[in-house]
Amino acid sequence: MTSVHGTSVDITTRDGVADAYLAHPDDGEPHPAVLLYMDAFGLRPQLRNMADRLAGAGYTVLVPNVFYRHGRAPVVELPDFIDPAARPELFERLGPILRSLTPDAAMSDADAYLAWLAECPAAADGPVGLTGYCMGAGLALRTAGTYPDRVAAAAGFHGARLATESDDSPHLLADRITAELYFGHADQDPALPPEQITHLDESLTAAGVRHRGEVYTGALHGFTQADTAAYDRTADERHWTALLALLDRTLKAARA
């Protein structure tokens, strides 16, 4: 595994300053950039570990605290291990924060994150990759549709509300997307029922988007997050295999 350097950084946005974590190979060379969108539990050691693993595979990875308007991470106090008993109380506090992040605000922030990466010495020139988890999968999809010329690939895992009846559902941007997409859906996930999975796939197909969606049988919503009771090691390793394959062929191969 490549030696990795990780550090905290601040990113100026239209509405303030977002704290973030940056990880990259410790070799002094620029590497393809990946913007990693957090789940609702936010920027914490688990996501830093995921960024480090991606960096070890040869990428420069930025993980912003998308809830920065409510404070620096952790925005709410989290237990070391998030079990089902703690989730209702946590979401009582996180729900209003999550709902306050409007699509317009999130995409204004995305512009700032992408611009910061474009100027980052550790990041190679050219379009970036995206990966997102839970709510972050929707942010990745929305970013790919909002900034198509700046995104080469986007992945989402155990995503939530990706193809709803809302007039601001992220799947409605399908006809603007030029990136290659991959989705790893949790089986029987109440945040993304089967009809939404079908609707998402049909919308992307109709728009001619290169994409693949897979349902991870038996996996719960949150299956990639090792600090939660939803974690599934087998499904998580499948996620890493799919994610790295997507990034390698869209970011590394394009620069070869």
Q: Yes or no: say if 140 and 37 are a contact pair by the CB < 8 Å rule.
A: yes
Q: What is the pLDDT, as a whole number, of residue 255?
A: 72
Q: What is the pLDDT, as a whole number, of residue 90?
A: 87
* CA-closest candidate to residue 202, choices 242, 233, 174, 236: 174
Q: What is the pLDDT, as a whole number, of residue 204?
A: 98
What domains are defined for the chain? 4-255 (3.40.50.1820)
Q: What is the pLDDT, as a whole number, of residue 68?
A: 98
Q: What is the pLDDT, as a whole number, of residue 57?
A: 98
Q: Yes or no: say if 116 and 13 are a contact pair by the CB < 8 Å rule.
A: no
Q: What is the pLDDT, as a whole number, of residue 2?
A: 83
What does the alpha-carbon distance between residue 184 and residue 197 come to, in Å, rounded to a whole number? 10
Q: What is the pLDDT, as a whole number, of residue 1?
A: 63
Q: What is the pLDDT along the chain (256 residues), one digit of tens a residue?
A: 689 999 999 999 999 999 999 999 999 999 999 999 999 999 999 999 999 999 999 999 999 999 999 999 999 999 999 997 767 888 889 999 999 999 999 999 999 999 999 999 999 999 999 999 999 999 999 999 999 999 999 999 999 999 999 999 999 999 999 999 999 999 989 999 999 999 999 999 999 999 999 999 999 999 999 999 999 999 999 999 999 999 999 999 877 6
Q: Tokens representing 210?
A: 């290169």
